[in-house]
Amino acid sequence: MQRFPDLTLNQKLALLALTLGIGALFISPTRGGAVSIDPVEMAVIVQREVDHVSADDLADWIIQGRADYRLIDLRDEKAFAEYHIPSAELLPITQLADAPLARNEKIVLYSDGGIHSAQAWFLLKARGYRGVYILLGGLDTWRDSVVFPVLAANPTPFQAERNAKLTARAAYFGGAPGVASTAATAAEGVPPAPIAGGAPAAPVAMPKIHAPSAPAGAAAAAAPKKRREGC
């Protein structure tokens, strides 16, 4: 996709889906014979993000403990061991064709960016899987918006409420937010400053995976109040 530097990510994914779809007219993606596909329809689906799940939505699903979907990490074992989204299953894209996935499952795919996810999405769609979704922006967007989000500086009451939510969510996943000094510096590409006592907004390494703790305030709200003794 380096030949099309001016295209957005979604446009690149749509172009990839269209290219793969045209190729599938001549090469069957399954061992059981040809499949019926509409490459133009698939390109439109990718472009409109119909079969996408946002990082924000996925984070909420994990925090809520939802179990009505499967989260598939398409990278290799080394990358998965270094960091993966909590609850994700390792299934390298090279093993996807023979994977024991049920066609009635809701499947969310992710990789570092979006290209491998688009390839895997197309392959499963061509094999008759209807509930297949791509994590929008992949692991890159997960890192920037969930694990290390940027908080609004000098926030309005609405922004302050959102800042609190982002901070609690980042802590749940082992990260920490940063704060931009002004909107201008953020627009100019200046890295956001770390919050006092916290980690930089975009550190080199992702946090180590461990069992997420409850969001800030949740444990206190759930804990029973201690009974007063005496007078």
- Paired tokens of 72: 């598939």
Evaluate whether residue 219 is within a structural domain.
no
Residue among 77, 75, 79 at smallest CA distance from 120: 75
- Paired tokens of 94: 């090279």
Measured CA to CA, the distance from residue 20 to residue 39 in angstroms comes to 8
Query: Is 137:55 a contact under the CB 8 Å cutoff?
Result: yes
User: If residue 90 lies in a helix (H) or strand (E), which one and from where to where?
Assistant: strand 89-90
Do residue 78 and residue 138 come from a single domain?
yes
- Mean pLDDT calculated for residue range 62-81: 95
- Paired tokens of 26: 């001549």
Q: Is residue 32's pLDDT more than 50?
A: no
DSSP codes of every residue in 135-149: ETTHHHHHIIIIIS-
Do residue 119 and residue 83 come from a single domain?
yes
Do residue 64 and residue 118 come from a single domain?
yes
Do residue 57 and residue 129 come from a single domain?
yes
Residue type, 225: K
Give the domain CATH number at 121. 3.40.250.10
Using H for helix, E for strand and C for coil, what is the string for 51-70?
Answer: CEECHHHHHHHHHHCCCCCE
Q: Which domain holds residue 124?
A: 49-142
- Mean pLDDT calculated for residue range 168-196: 64
- Paired tokens of 4: 């099309």
Query: Is 142:108 a contact under the CB 8 Å cutoff?
Result: no
Chain mean pLDDT for the chain? 72
- What angle (nearest 5°) sits at the alpha carbon of residue 71, between those of residues 70 and 73? 140
* pLDDT for the residue 199: 41
Evaluate whether residue 217 is within a structural domain.
no
Do residue 137 and residue 159 come from a single domain?
no
Q: Which of the four pLDDT bands, split at 50, 70 and 90, describes residue 16?
A: low
Number of domains the chain is built from: 2
Do residue 138 and residue 187 come from a single domain?
no
Residue among 117, 128, 123, 17 at smallest CA distance from 71: 117
Give the predicted TM-score (pTM) of the model: 0.67
List pLDDT tens digits, range 111-165. Answer: 987 778 888 988 888 888 889 999 999 999 999 999 999 999 889 999 999 999 9
Tell me the β-bridge partners of 89. 72
The residue ranking higher by pLDDT, 115 or 204, is 115
Residue among 104, 122, 111 at smallest CA distance from 88: 111
Query: Is 217:165 a contact under the CB 8 Å cutoff?
Result: no
Q: Among 94, 119, 142, where does a domain finish?
A: 142
Measured CA to CA, the distance from residue 13 to residue 51 in angstroms comes to 12
Evaluate whether residue 84 is within a structural domain.
yes
Measured CA to CA, the distance from residue 41 to residue 130 in angstroms comes to 14
The residue ranking higher by pLDDT, 174 or 36, is 174
